[in-house]
Amino acid sequence: MPSQHVGIVAVSPEGAALAYRQFHRHATQMTMPEDRPSVTLHGEPFDQYLKAVADQDWETIGLLLRRSAECLAAAGADFCLTPDHVVQHAVQMAETGCPIPWLTMAELLADEVSNEGRQSVGILGTRMVTNGSAYQTHLGLKGVKVMTPSPDEVDEVDSIIFQELVLGETHDSSRHRLGEIIARLADRGAEAIVMGSSEVPLLLSRSNCPLPLYDPGEIQVVRAVQMASSGPPTRRGE
Map out the domains of the chain as residue ranges. 5-104+218-230, 106-215
Q: What's the pLDDT tens digit per position in 3-49?
A: 899 999 999 999 999 999 999 999 999 888 888 899 999 999 999 99
Per-residue pLDDT, 94: 94
Q: How far apart are CA 20 and CA 37, in angstroms?
A: 12
Do domains 5-104+218-230 and 106-215 share one topology? The answer is: yes
Per-residue pLDDT, 231: 54
Is 206:234 a contact under the CB 8 Å cutoff?
no
Architecture field, domain 5-104+218-230: 3-Layer(aba) Sandwich (3.40)
CATH fold group of domain 106-215: Rossmann fold (3.40.50)
Orientation angle between helical segments 106-115 and 134-141, nearest 10 degrees: 40
Q: What's the pLDDT tens digit per position in 75-119?
A: 999 999 999 999 988 998 999 889 999 999 999 999 999 999 999
Is 210:182 a contact under the CB 8 Å cutoff?
yes
